[in-house]
Amino acid sequence: IWRSLSGELMGFYRTMYFRVALGAYGMYTGWAPQPVPECAWSS
């Protein structure tokens, strides 16, 4: 149970980190339409 739970948690954090990184890069280059937090927390 704990192993699958930690696996889902790691997957969630990895996805969230990817969205934050992509949003930050988009803002830096100027092609992202929305801010980083909104991009990170909206599913």
Neighbours of 26 (CB within 10 A): 16
pLDDT at residue 43 in the model: 46
Q: What is the pTM of this model?
A: 0.44
Q: What share of the chain is helix, strand, coil (3-state, %, to 5)?
A: 80, 0, 20
Please report, in tens digits, the pLDDT of each residue of the chain (43 residues total).
678 888 888 888 888 888 888 878 877 777 655 555 555 555 4
User: Which one-letter DSSP state was computed for residue 7?
Assistant: H
On whether the CB atoms of residues 37 and 27 are closer than 8 A, the answer is no
